[in-house]
Structure 1
Amino acid sequence: MKIERLISMIYMLLNHEVISASELAEKYQVSQRTIYRDIDAICAAGIPVVSYQGVNGGYGIMETYKLDKSLLNSFDIETLLTMLNSLSKVFMDEQTMDTARKLQTIRTEGAGPGMILDIESRWTPQGSLRLLKSAIKSRKPVYMEYIGLKGERTCRTVEPVCLMYKNRTWYLYGYCRTRSDYREFRLSRMDRLQALPDTFHRQHAMPVQSGEAFNRPEPADPVAVRIRFSPRSLARALDYFHDSEKTHHPDGSLTITLHLSSPEESKWLFPVVASFGEEAEIEGPEEWRGQLRNMLENMLKKYADRR
């Protein structure tokens, strides 16, 4: 749309000393004649665009018109730019990049963010993220087949409210028509995701504390489960259990103590420990050792000789 192109062009001009008509035409996939008309429209709106002649000529905005750099301090600007640039890589979102360009117009030269934020990885569900972001913006309900924690598959229709990134995982928060209540859905467990053609008009509030539904409640009668990791598995063990109680041993091994409820309610632990192979061992209690042993024996049965 022309109005969106004009707004984006204004921030491009604010962010550059001089930018040529050919660069603008290539950026917006229009002719240079269209760019000349857009520049006239921007001038008519009261924004002082200056034309510079010569080999390196082009268009710019009068320096005295640019945004006051005291609006935000350098730390604020650099932090926001770091987050926006990371999000733009995930969503491939021109609107997010335009927001970043706005902030760059009041950026302090030489300032550095002191951090790099990269939330994109090969496991990032980019297609689902972009579909859901579009559905949220256009207020379209989405349909999915959702795989629950116990492996059950249910068909859900959800009015999406917001996307959440927490504990290195993307979630959708929305109103589930199937359950008539608000729910969080992990994107990695969505299948056959699609946006529906109708528009919902129900007004939804953002979650008050998005982390509440994720955090596991403290067990009423916790059991101290001790897991010993070999020196070779130390780095990976710390990646998994960095906030847990730790005991380092002279031989370089590490014992992690977790305070958990019963084995039935903490089944997530056994596949994690098993993934370490011979480099990890549940030292106690014996009931927990037995649970892991049973799991491994059942696994071995699947690989028994079929002759």
Structure 2
Amino acid sequence: MKLERLISIIFKLLNNEILSASSLADEFQVSSRTIYRDIEAICAAGIPVVSYQGTNGGFGIIEGYKFDKSLIGSYDILNLITVLSSLLSIFEDKEVEHTIDRLKILDTNSNNKTLLVDLESHRTEPNSLMNLRKAIHEKRVIRFDYVSNKNEFTSRELEPIHLHYKFRNWYLYGYCRERQNYREFRVSRMMSITLTQEKFLQNHEIKGDSSYSDCKLEGFEDVVIWVNPNSLAEVLDQFQNSSKVINSDGSMTFTISVYQPLHAGWLKSILLSFGSGAKIIKPVELQSILIDEAKKIIKVYEDV
């Protein structure tokens, strides 16, 4: 704990002109006397800390004492801070916060951010992500109930390996003891997550991101959608990365490439969410699927 505090104090001094003993004591929740002893230890280690007297006095690093910045440029630092800041908004990790402070030391322009990334997802409870990350870090076996794509409930025991954010969702990859194989689970479908006291010893390999790379090219098919002018924003939010044609009446025609569209449950859900604002042009079979689903929805509300 003392070593971590000393390192943090060093980086804070390097990133600030002057810091008072009282402000450091408040931040690290120790006495001012402890801070004075820490400063003595830092000086003994060869780092030139000087004391400034007066109303705004305190401690600072002697002018001219700098890190070697030749190994990393301003652009690199900004990118690292952007990514780490996005993680900090989710996991509230003190170590990440300290890393950001250290990076800021290397570049005085690091506060001039030109890119912001927010990885928060309302589909996943933040506490779940923090608990899962803790389980991964501590190599603790977890138990949870899971709802599959087929809406089947199962209870799982997993050796968690890593978290992965893709397609606007968080996924957990690990070794499933029930299936005796590696599996990936969408975190939003995991319920009653419990961190056990059991630790696993095996060092699992982290898989690469396959995404759609494992899908055969012949499985992809064009889906053409006509969109009402009043629904353009909603459809663009979902299918911005598609071929788009603006029609004379203000409507738009979208063409997207989808892997096995007739079996893509996610696509059906999104298209139904557009209501009457969008119409499938092709494939014609997808029209029938949506019509059947709409009939089922109407039937649910027949007695209302």
Q: TM-score, normalised by structure 1?
A: 0.90
Q: Is the 8 A contact 1:52 1:59 kept in 2?
A: yes
Q: How many matched pairs?
A: 304
* Letter in structure 1 aligned against 2:232: L
Q: Is the 8 A contact 2:144 2:194 kept in 1?
A: yes
* Letter in structure 2 aligned against 1:38: D
Which residue number in structure 1 is paired with residue 95 of structure 2? 95
Seen in structure 2, the aligned counterparts of structure 1 residues 50 and 299 have a Cα distance that, compared at 3 Å, is same
Question: How far off is 1:141 after superposition?
Answer: 1.8
Q: Could you tell me which runs of 5 or more consecutive residues in structure 2 were left unpaired when the two chains were aligned.
A: none
Q: Look up the SS of the partner of 2:250 in the other structure.
A: coil
Seen in structure 2, the aligned counterparts of structure 1 residues 216 and 228 have a Cα distance that, compared at 3 Å, is farther
Q: Is the 8 A contact 1:282 1:289 kept in 2?
A: yes
Q: TM-score, normalised by structure 2?
A: 0.91
CA distance in 2, matches of 1:72, 1:21: 32
Q: Is the 8 A contact 2:77 2:110 kept in 1?
A: no
Q: CA RMSD in A?
A: 2.2
Per-residue CA distance 1:84-103 (angstroms, 9 max, x = gap): 12211111111101001111
Seen in structure 2, the aligned counterparts of structure 1 residues 167 and 260 have a Cα distance that, compared at 3 Å, is closer
Q: Does 1:184 align with 2:184?
A: yes
Q: Is the 8 A contact 1:143 1:193 kept in 2?
A: yes
CA distance in 2, matches of 1:87, 1:261: 31
Q: Does 1:284 align with 2:282?
A: yes
Seen in structure 2, the aligned counterparts of structure 1 residues 13 and 259 have a Cα distance that, compared at 3 Å, is closer
Which residue number in structure 1 is paired with residue 293 of structure 2? 295
Question: How far off is 1:275 after superposition?
Answer: 0.9
Per-residue CA distance 1:146-189 (angstroms, 9 max, x = gap): 21111112212222222212222212222222222222221111
Q: Could you tell me which runs of 5 or more consecutive residues in structure 1 were left unpaired when the two chains were aligned.
A: none
Q: Does 1:134 align with 2:131?
A: no
CA distance in 2, matches of 1:179, 1:188: 20
Question: How far off is 1:19 after superposition?
Answer: 0.5
Q: Is the 8 A contact 1:231 1:253 kept in 2?
A: yes
Q: Look up the SS of the partner of 1:247 in the other structure.
A: strand
Listed as ranges, the matches of 1:22-33 within 5 Å are 22-33=22-33
Q: Is the 8 A contact 1:171 1:185 kept in 2?
A: yes
Q: Is the 8 A contact 2:104 2:110 kept in 1?
A: no
Identity %: 44
Question: How far off is 1:120 after superposition?
Answer: 2.4
Q: Look up the SS of the partner of 1:268 in the other structure.
A: helix
* Letter in structure 1 aligned against 2:173: Y
Q: Is the 8 A contact 1:219 1:260 kept in 2?
A: no
Q: Is the 8 A contact 2:18 2:58 kept in 1?
A: yes
CA distance in 2, matches of 1:274, 1:186: 22
Per-residue CA distance 1:102-121 (angstroms, 9 max, x = gap): 11111144873421222225
CA distance in 2, matches of 1:138, 1:261: 38
Listed as ranges, the matches of 1:1-307 within 5 Å are 1-109=1-109, 112-207=112-207, 209-210=208-209, 212-213=210-211, 217-218=215-216, 220=218, 223-260=221-258, 264-305=262-303
CA distance in 1, matches of 2:85, 2:97: 7
Question: How far off is 1:259 after superposition?
Answer: 4.5
Q: Is the 8 A contact 2:223 2:261 kept in 1?
A: no
Select between 152-161 and 222-231 the one with higher mean Cα deviation. Answer: 222-231
* Letter in structure 1 aligned against 2:296: N
CA distance in 2, matches of 1:68, 1:261: 49
Q: Look up the SS of the partner of 2:71 in the other structure.
A: coil
CA distance in 2, matches of 1:239, 1:262: 22
Seen in structure 2, the aligned counterparts of structure 1 residues 173 and 69 have a Cα distance that, compared at 3 Å, is same
Q: Look up the SS of the partner of 2:202 in the other structure.
A: coil
Q: Look up the SS of the partner of 2:294 in the other structure.
A: helix
